[in-house]
């Protein structure tokens, strides 16, 4: 290592402050020597010293001149070395291109994914001390995880000691008018303590008081920072001003800081986050146990989400014992930190992608290492020659290292645009949840990590030939003879290729499993046909649409007008759009069904006639809703197959039977007139639950007064659905000019958003796997091509002695295949162990899926075979005479 | 006193190398003094210019240095010619001979053809 040490010493010499003192010492000694002579010649000490300084030209000036000269020389030296390195690399375009491209792929993909993962897993949430803030959820037989009831918020406040404060909120759409164009906003209806529980106070003005959070309290609102900037020009005097929400004047009392979001704005409301907040004004005398509130709480000091969950479960048991819930419901509650709630769902995919990209970087480094080793081998002669001509070892090492740095930085320079393109891909898959957490950009620290790894590899493997040459590196050296050193390097190269193949196997298995899983998700029968369907959200303000008649009339008019539009095949209105919203259930009475085994229930959907046809829902029995199903006609319902199967021995008997909303005998019986195929609503992979459909025209009748004012207008078009967006907006504006409409979306877009994360992971992993395959093929090819060139003589002898061509060919191919096989086996074994970690991300695919594993093995063997083919073919075509003459 | 000549660009390095070749290891002051003496004080040598030149020669590997003690017991840095330095002296001296010879032909009185 002495060579390396000396080299570094020389490289660093011009930049070391310590050596400046040495220069000064030397100059001082010069002055002293000169003065000594002058004194000896008879001058006084003072005069002698002054004269010595004069003839020198000053100590400081001389030191300066020395430093200047030295730095200039060092820079010049470096510049010349760089120039030479670039020239040498350009002389070998194939090697340089391969190495730089490999490095760029490795650096680019790692930088992109590391940056995305950092945004997803480590960007700060707008809540200080987020570990102490939890969300509370309920669970019972029908739901794994759902919201809480307002009554429960009060129960938890009174009974839980692990929680110091409990807040609750709902979100809804409200129309903002009077300040420019009417706008539809997502509004959070929050309890007064919500901002305290989340640890964020208003940036301007104040929060809500408990007086304002009472029923019939004054109408007040707090604006989001973005809304304040966009709608009110960032004017601080907005505090105290009145704005109009759903036709009611409301006083602005505060503005929240930039970047504030409710925890639900990262999850359920991520596509339309809340922009404005108003007091929930819950009436304590009329609270219910229907689960419609989001709840958050502040943990008491020393408590964790786990201890809080234990206490909540105990409270839930008490509530059940008190008779609030039926035993058969198995009602319970639990807490989860806001951090876990927001990032938890992203974590598995992010970790998988990070792992995948680390594998890719490993392969890229192994490949570049291999290329450098092969090149180093062929450069042994050149190095020996230069060494004989007087170039010092450190000089050769310096040249090699500079080349290594040039390669690494060229790789980084090309990797950056690749990384940006990678971010573009991630953005294109619509990871709304990611964008909410922070802007997706390349974090330079993350880029530095991958460039560092690349630089280390190139430096290490560039130094190997010369260090081996000097007999220093132990692994390469063995007994010290040059031949064994070469053999050692050959072994190192084979090891690298095997490692490459092994890592590629792991990547391919992961990618294969994800792709098969995404395929399985795609094959899921949605129960409707999303193609050519346009959707648009509307929210009718309760003031102007106070009665059910007005609401029903609006939906009827919109549907009829939309049907008349050119290019529209069908139109309708649905309360909740599948895959874009979550649907909840409502208790049912079913004529002739014995409820002793458990309550009958169903997810409640409200639709107009035409909605089924528009969405492409399939009718299995009976009939659709028709225009004749008016408010005054007999109440009718359509049920899905699951509901019919659950509550009737013979599902087809459901048609003609009767159901009733909830256990309230004042509500009328409803005639089931049809059965439709199951639709996937709450998620593509989620199990389908019992579901029933009621016409909007009869909803208030069958529920005795409930009105559904939030809904989606849907139309089926003959061409591109988005092309009809403007005309549909105009239709709504004509009927009610003050009614804002939500962003129109194609139904296919809604479906792909629901699949965004698995599709993204599947797509990226496949990309990584494809690159890994390519790099492994290059690696195998490189090693074999080198083997052939080294064994030319031996092959010549074999052929001269009468060996058949096919024997020579099979000799080379066998080498390639054995490398590949060993790599595949090692990687396969590792993948078997590790793929279990993927289980949570997979759908209808086993982590040890035999198809995937055998396909991966077959693909890799095929790639190895084709990578071996060219060198083998070359060996087989060798003329024995020429081969013997070589060297 | 006749006017002193400036040191020509590039010649100082050769003078230093040649000095070290004849005198063996020497410190900066000694080298500077020796150059003055050899030139018979005809050169206007600013001592301060010797040190950057020494530094450059050392960086190029023509000389090496180490600290030692001078004749009158002062600490001083001594410079020694390296193998590469010896070759460089030969090469540069040859080049210089050539240059002066060529120049001499120009400056010598023109011979009749």
Please tell me the distance from the alpha carbon of residue A652 to that of residue A654, in angstroms, as a whole number.
5
Asked if the C-beta of A288 comes within 8 angstroms of chain B's C-beta atoms, the answer is no
Please tell me the distance from the alpha carbon of residue A205 to that of residue A182, in angstroms, as a whole number.
25
Residue A65 confidence (pLDDT) above 90: no
Residue of A344, A273, A298 lying closest to A136 (CA atoms): A298
Mean pLDDT value of segment A38-65: 85
Quote the longest CA-to-CA distance of chain B.
63
> Looking at beta carbons, which residues of chain B come within 8 Å of A36?
72, 74
**Which of these ranges, A280-294, A373-387, A777-791, A868-882, has the smallest mean pLDDT?**
A373-387
Chain B CA closest to residue A58 = B48
> Looking at beta carbons, which residues of chain B come within 8 Å of A50?
none
Task: Read off the pLDDT of residues A132-153 as tens digits, 9 standing for 90 and up.
Answer: 999 999 988 767 788 898 899 9
For residue B98, the distance in angstroms to the closest alpha carbon of chain A comes to: 25
Q: Which two tokens stand for residue A71?
A: 């730095």
Residue A115 confidence (pLDDT) above 70: yes
Cβ contact B74–A33 (<8 Å): yes
Mean pLDDT value of segment A115-143: 86
Mean pLDDT value of segment A751-756: 82
For residue A13, the distance in angstroms to the closest alpha carbon of chain B comes to: 10
Grouping H, G, I as helix, E, B as strand and the rest as coil, residue A630 is coil
Cβ contact A65–B74 (<8 Å): no
Residue A375 confidence (pLDDT) above 50: yes
Per-residue confidence (pLDDT) for residue A466, from 0 to 100? 60
Alpha-helical (H) ranges within A667-755 are 696-702, 725-735, 747-754
Q: Which of A8-12, B58-62, B78-82 has the highest mean pLDDT?
A: B78-82
Using alpha carbons, list the distances in angstroms from residue A588 to A477, A593, A667. Answer: 82, 10, 11
Q: Please tell me which of the candidates A32, A68, A69 has its beta carbon nearest to residue B74.
A: A32
Mean pLDDT value of segment A374-394: 69
Cβ contact B59–A392 (<8 Å): no
Q: Please tell me which of the candidates A30, A36, A66 has its beta carbon nearest to residue B55.
A: A66
Q: Which CATH architecture has domain B11-107?
A: Orthogonal Bundle (1.10)
For residue A380, the distance in angstroms to the closest alpha carbon of chain B comes to: 24
Chain A CA closest to residue B52 = A66
> Looking at beta carbons, which residues of chain A come within 8 Å of B73?
none
Residue A487 confidence (pLDDT) above 50: yes
Proportion of chain B above pLDDT 90, given as a percent: 9
Higher pLDDT, A78 or A660: A660
Per-residue confidence (pLDDT) for residue B113, from 0 to 100? 45
Phi, psi torsion values for A66, nearest 5 degrees: -60, -45
> Looking at beta carbons, which residues of chain A come within 8 Å of B58?
none
Task: Read off the pLDDT of residues A340-360 as tens digits, 9 standing for 90 and up.
Answer: 998 888 888 888 888 888 888
Per-residue confidence (pLDDT) for residue A263, from 0 to 100? 93
Given a contact cutoff of 8 angstroms between Cβ atoms, the answer to whether A841 and A761 are in contact is: yes
Cβ contact A33–B51 (<8 Å): no
| Confidence bin at A1 (pLDDT 50/70/90) | very low
Q: Please tell me which of the candidates A22, A62, A73 has its beta carbon nearest to residue B59.
A: A73
Q: Which two tokens stand for residue A464?
A: 């190997």
Task: Read off the pLDDT of residues A249-262 as tens digits, 9 standing for 90 and up.
Answer: 999 999 999 989 99
Please tell me the distance from the alpha carbon of residue B35 to that of residue B50, in angstroms, as a whole number.
10
Quote the DSSP letter at residue A212: T
Strand A691-695, strand A600-607: pairing: parallel
Chain B CA closest to residue A389 = B84
Mean pLDDT value of segment A538-552: 87
> Looking at beta carbons, which residues of chain B come within 8 Å of A48?
none
Task: Read off the pLDDT of residues A355-365 as tens digits, 9 standing for 90 and up.
Answer: 888 888 888 88
Long-range pairs for A420-425: beta carbons < 8 A, 24 or more residues apart: A420/A112, A421/A108, A421/A112, A422/A108, A422/A109, A422/A111, A422/A112, A422/A113, A423/A112, A423/A115, A423/A116, A425/A763, A425/A764
Chosen for mutation from A24, A33, A41 (greatest number of chain B CBs closer than 10 Å) is A33
| Confidence bin at B1 (pLDDT 50/70/90) | very low
Residue A124 confidence (pLDDT) above 70: yes
Q: Please tell me which of the candidates B27, B46, B75 has its beta carbon nearest to residue A57.
A: B46
> Looking at beta carbons, which residues of chain B come within 8 Å of A77?
59
Q: Please tell me which of the candidates B29, B51, B61 has its beta carbon nearest to residue A34.
A: B29
Grouping H, G, I as helix, E, B as strand and the rest as coil, residue A245 is strand
Q: Please tell me which of the candidates A36, A57, A61 has its beta carbon nearest to residue B72.
A: A36
Proportion of chain A above pLDDT 90, given as a percent: 30
Asked if the C-beta of A61 comes within 8 angstroms of chain B's C-beta atoms, the answer is yes
Grouping H, G, I as helix, E, B as strand and the rest as coil, residue A258 is coil
For residue B96, the distance in angstroms to the closest alpha carbon of chain A comes to: 23
Higher pLDDT, A23 or A432: A23
Task: Read off the pLDDT of residues B65-84 as tens digits, 9 standing for 90 and up.
Answer: 888 888 888 888 999 998 88
> Looking at beta carbons, which residues of chain B come within 8 Å of A70?
52, 55-56, 59
Chain B CA closest to residue A14 = B59
Phi, psi torsion values for A626, nearest 5 degrees: -125, 175
Residue A430 confidence (pLDDT) above 90: no
Given a contact cutoff of 8 angstroms between Cβ atoms, the answer to whether A852 and A845 are in contact is: yes
Phi, psi torsion values for A814, nearest 5 degrees: -60, -40
Task: Read off the pLDDT of residues A652-668 as tens digits, 9 standing for 90 and up.
Answer: 889 999 998 876 777 89
Chain A CA closest to residue B28 = A30
Given a contact cutoff of 8 angstroms between Cβ atoms, the answer to whether A146 and A683 are in contact is: no
Residue of A208, A225, A227, A216 lying closest to A279 (CA atoms): A208
Per-residue confidence (pLDDT) for residue A363, from 0 to 100? 87
Mean pLDDT value of segment B11-35: 89
Which residues of B make CB contacts under 8 Å with A? 27-30, 32, 46-49, 51-52, 55-56, 59, 61, 70, 72, 74-77, 84
Task: Read off the pLDDT of residues A450-480 as tens digits, 9 standing for 90 and up.
Answer: 888 888 888 877 776 665 544 433 333 333 3
For residue A33, the distance in angstroms to the closest alpha carbon of chain B comes to: 7
Cβ contact B29–A33 (<8 Å): yes
Residues near A273 by beta carbon (within 8 Å), at least 6 away in sequence: A186, A261, A262, A265, A436
Task: Read off the pLDDT of residues A204-247 as tens digits, 9 standing for 90 and up.
Answer: 999 999 999 999 899 999 999 999 998 888 899 999 999 999 88
Residue B3 confidence (pLDDT) above 80: no
Residue of A618, A612, A628 lying closest to A716 (CA atoms): A612
Cβ contact A25–B75 (<8 Å): yes
Chosen for mutation from A12, A58, A62, A393 (greatest number of chain B CBs closer than 10 Å) is A62
**Which of these ranges, A667-681, A873-887, B48-62, has the smallest mean pLDDT?**
A873-887
Cβ contact B59–A55 (<8 Å): no
Residue A40 confidence (pLDDT) above 60: yes
Residue A276 confidence (pLDDT) above 90: yes
Task: Read off the pLDDT of residues A597-638 as tens digits, 9 standing for 90 and up.
Answer: 667 888 889 999 999 999 999 999 999 999 889 999 999 999
| Burial tier of A153 (Cβ tally within 10 Å: 0-12, 13-18, 19+) | buried
For residue B97, the distance in angstroms to the closest alpha carbon of chain A comes to: 25
> Looking at beta carbons, which residues of chain A come within 8 Å of B32?
30
Asked if the C-beta of A33 comes within 8 angstroms of chain B's C-beta atoms, the answer is yes
Residue A427 confidence (pLDDT) above 60: yes
Chain CA centroid to CA B102, Å: 21
Please tell me the distance from the alpha carbon of residue A47 to that of residue A52, in angstroms, as a whole number.
9
Please tell me the distance from the alpha carbon of residue A540 to that of residue A741, in angstroms, as a whole number.
10
Residue boundaries of the structural domains of chain B: 11-107
State chain A's mean pLDDT as an integer: 84
| Confidence bin at A641 (pLDDT 50/70/90) | very high
| Confidence bin at A202 (pLDDT 50/70/90) | very high
> Looking at beta carbons, which residues of chain B come within 8 Å of A34?
29, 47
**Which of these ranges, A27-31, A131-135, A298-302, A758-762, has the smallest mean pLDDT?**
A758-762
| Confidence bin at A389 (pLDDT 50/70/90) | low
Per-residue confidence (pLDDT) for residue A479, from 0 to 100? 35
Residue of A300, A329, A299, A304 lying closest to A317 (CA atoms): A329
Mean pLDDT value of segment A292-311: 92
Task: Read off the pLDDT of residues A716-747 as tens digits, 9 standing for 90 and up.
Answer: 999 899 988 889 988 988 898 888 777 789 99
> Looking at beta carbons, which residues of chain A come within 8 Å of B77?
22, 25-26, 29
Residue A297 confidence (pLDDT) above 90: yes
- Going through A579-718 in order, the beta strands assigned E by DSSP cover 585-590, 600-607, 619-622, 636-640, 658-661, 670-676, 691-695, 710-717
Please tell me the distance from the alpha carbon of residue A278 to that of residue A212, in angstroms, as a whole number.
9
Asked if the C-beta of A685 comes within 8 angstroms of chain B's C-beta atoms, the answer is no
Residues near A33 by beta carbon (within 8 Å), at least 6 away in sequence: B27, B29, B30, B70, B72, B74, B76
Chain A CA closest to residue B77 = A26
Asked if the C-beta of A56 comes within 8 angstroms of chain B's C-beta atoms, the answer is yes
Chain B CA closest to residue A68 = B52
Convert A519-543 to b/e letters by CB count within 10 Å (16 or more is b): eebeeeebbbebebbbbbbbbbbee
Residue A366 confidence (pLDDT) above 60: yes
Q: Which two tokens stand for residue A153?
A: 């918020």
Per-residue confidence (pLDDT) for residue A392, from 0 to 100? 63
Residue A512 confidence (pLDDT) above 60: yes
Grouping H, G, I as helix, E, B as strand and the rest as coil, residue A205 is strand
Adjacent-strand bridge partners of A603:
A585, A691
Q: Which two tokens stand for residue B72?
A: 């009158």
Given a contact cutoff of 8 angstroms between Cβ atoms, the answer to whether A701 and A668 are in contact is: yes
Residue A304 confidence (pLDDT) above 80: yes
| Burial tier of A41 (Cβ tally within 10 Å: 0-12, 13-18, 19+) | exposed
Please tell me the distance from the alpha carbon of residue A347 to that of residue A338, in angstroms, as a whole number.
14
Strand A600-607, strand B75-81: pairing: unpaired
Per-residue confidence (pLDDT) for residue A613, from 0 to 100? 93
Cβ contact A30–B75 (<8 Å): no
Please tell me the distance from the alpha carbon of residue A714 to that of residue A728, in angstroms, as a whole number.
10
Task: For Cα atoms A120, A121, A122, give the angle at the middle one, nearest 5 degrees.
Answer: 105
Residue A817 confidence (pLDDT) above 70: yes
Per-residue confidence (pLDDT) for residue A164, from 0 to 100? 93
The alpha-carbon radius of gyration of chain A (Å, integer) is 37
């Amino acid at each position: 290592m002495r060579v390396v040490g000396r080299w570094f010493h020389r490289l660093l010499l011009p930049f070391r402050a310590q050596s400046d003192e040495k220069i000064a010492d030397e100059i001082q000694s010069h002055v002293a020597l000169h003065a000594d002579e002058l004194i000896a010649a008879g001058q006084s000490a003072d005069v002698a010293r002054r004269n010595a300084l004069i003839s020198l030209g000053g100590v400081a000036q001389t030191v300066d001149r020395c430093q200047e000269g030295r730095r200039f020389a060092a820079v010049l030296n470096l510049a010349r070395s760089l120039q030479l390195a670039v020239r040498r690399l350009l002389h070998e375009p194939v090697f340089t291109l391969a190495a730089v491209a490999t490095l760029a792929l490795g650096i680019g993909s790692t930088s992109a994914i590391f940056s995305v993962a950092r945004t997803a897993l480590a960007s700060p949430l707008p809540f200080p001390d987020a570990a102490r803030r939890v969300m509370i959820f309920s669970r019972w037989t029908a739901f794994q995880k759902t919201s809480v009831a307002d009554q429960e918020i009060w129960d938890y406040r009174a009974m839980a000691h692990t929680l110091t404060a409990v807040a609750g909120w709902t979100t809804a759409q409200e129309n903002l008018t009077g300040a420019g164009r009417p706008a539809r906003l997502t509004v959070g209806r929050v309890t007064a303590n919500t901002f305290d529980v989340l640890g964020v106070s208003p940036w301007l003005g104040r929060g809500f008081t408990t007086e304002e959070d009472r029923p019939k309290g004054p109408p007040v609102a707090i604006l989001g920072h973005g809304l304040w900037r966009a709608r009110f020009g960032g004017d601080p005097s907005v505090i105290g001003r009145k704005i109009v929400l759903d036709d009611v004047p409301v006083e602005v009392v505060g503005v929240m800081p930039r970047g504030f979001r409710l925890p639900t704005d990262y999850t359920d409301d991520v596509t339309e986050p809340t922009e404005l907040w108003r007091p929930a004004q819950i009436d304590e005398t009329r609270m219910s146990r229907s689960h419609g509130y989001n709840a958050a709480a502040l943990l008491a000091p020393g408590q964790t989400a786990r201890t809080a969950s234990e206490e909540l479960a105990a409270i839930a048991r008490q509530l059940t014992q008190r008779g609030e819930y039926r035993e058969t419901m198995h009602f319970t509650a639990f807490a989860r930190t806001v951090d876990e709630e927001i990032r938890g769902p992203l974590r598995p995919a992010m970790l998988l992608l990070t792992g995948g990209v680390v594998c890719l970087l490993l392969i890229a480094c192994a490949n570049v290492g291999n290329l450098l080793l092969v090149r180093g081998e062929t450069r042994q002669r050149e190095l020996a020659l230069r060494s004989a001509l007087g170039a010092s070892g450190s000089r050769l090492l310096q040249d090699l290292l500079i080349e290594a740095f040039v390669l690494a930085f060229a790789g980084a320079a090309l990797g950056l645009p690749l990384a940006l393109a990678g971010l573009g891909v991630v953005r294109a898959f619509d990871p709304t949840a990611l964008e909410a957490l922070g802007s997706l950009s390349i974090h330079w620290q993350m880029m530095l990590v991958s460039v560092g790894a690349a630089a280390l590899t190139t430096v290490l493997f560039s130094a190997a030939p010369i260090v081996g040459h000097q007999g220093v590196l132990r692994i390469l050296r063995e007994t010290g003879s040059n031949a064994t050193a070469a053999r050692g390097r050959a072994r190192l190269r084979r090891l690298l290729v095997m490692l490459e193949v092994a890592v590629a196997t792991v990547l391919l298995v992961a990618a294969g499993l994800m792709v098969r899983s995404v395929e399985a998700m795609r094959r899921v029968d949605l129960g409707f046909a999303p193609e050519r369907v346009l959707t648009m959200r509307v929210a009718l303000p309760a003031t102007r649409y106070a009665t059910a008649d007005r609401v029903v009339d609006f939906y009827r008019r919109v549907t009829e007008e939309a049907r008349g539009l050119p290019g529209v095949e069908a139109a309708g209105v649905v309360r909740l759009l599948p895959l874009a919203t979550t649907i909840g259930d409502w208790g049912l009475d079913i004529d002739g069904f014995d409820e002793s085994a458990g309550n009958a229930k169903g997810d409640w959907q409200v639709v107009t006639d035409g909605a089924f046809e528009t969405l492409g829902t399939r009718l299995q029995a009976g009939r659709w809703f028709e225009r004749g199903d008016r408010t005054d006609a007999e109440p009718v319902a359509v049920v899905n197959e699951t509901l019919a199967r659950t509550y009737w021995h013979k599902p087809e008997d459901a048609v003609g039977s009767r159901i009733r909303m909830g256990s309230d005998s004042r509500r009328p019986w409803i005639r089931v007139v049809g059965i439709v195929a199951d639709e996937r609503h709450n998620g593509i992979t989620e199990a389908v639950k019992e579901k029933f459909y009621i016409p909007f025209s009869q909803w208030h009748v069958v529920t005795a007064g409930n009105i559904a004012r939030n809904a989606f207008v849907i139309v089926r078009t003959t061409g591109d659905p988005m092309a009809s967006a403007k005309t549909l907006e105009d239709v709504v504006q004509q009927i009610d000019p003050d009614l804002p409409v939500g962003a129109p979306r194609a139904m296919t877009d809604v479906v792909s958003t629901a699949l965004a994360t698995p599709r993204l992971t599947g797509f990226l992993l496949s990309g990584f796997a494809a690159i890994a395959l390519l790099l492994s093929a290059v690696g195998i090819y490189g090693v074999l091509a080198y083997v052939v060139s080294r064994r030319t003589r031996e092959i010549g002898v074999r052929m001269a002695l009468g060996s058949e061509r096919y024997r020579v060919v099979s000799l080379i191919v066998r080498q390639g295949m054995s490398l590949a096989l060993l790599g595949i086996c090692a990687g396969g074994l590792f993948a078997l162990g590790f793929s279990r970690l993927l289980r949570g991300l997979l759908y209808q695919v086993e982590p040890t899926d035999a198809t995937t594993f055998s396909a991966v093995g077959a693909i890799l063997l095929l790639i190895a075979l084709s990578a071996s083919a060219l060198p083998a073919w070359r060996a087989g075509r060798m003329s024995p005479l020429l081969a013997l003459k070589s060297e | 006193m006749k006017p002193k000549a400036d040191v020509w660009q590039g010649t100082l390095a050769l003078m230093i190398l040649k000095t070290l070749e004849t005198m063996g290891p020497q410190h900066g002051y000694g080298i500077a003094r020796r150059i003055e003496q050899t030139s018979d004080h005809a050169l206007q040598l600013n001592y301060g210019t010797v040190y950057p030149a020494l530094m450059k020669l050392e960086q190029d590997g023509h000389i090496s240095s180490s600290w030692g003690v001078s004749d009158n017991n002062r600490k001083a840095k001594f410079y020694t010619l390296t193998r590469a330095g010896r070759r460089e002296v030969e090469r540069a001296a040859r080049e210089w001979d050539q240059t002066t010879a060529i120049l001499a032909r120009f400056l010598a009185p023109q011979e009749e053809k």
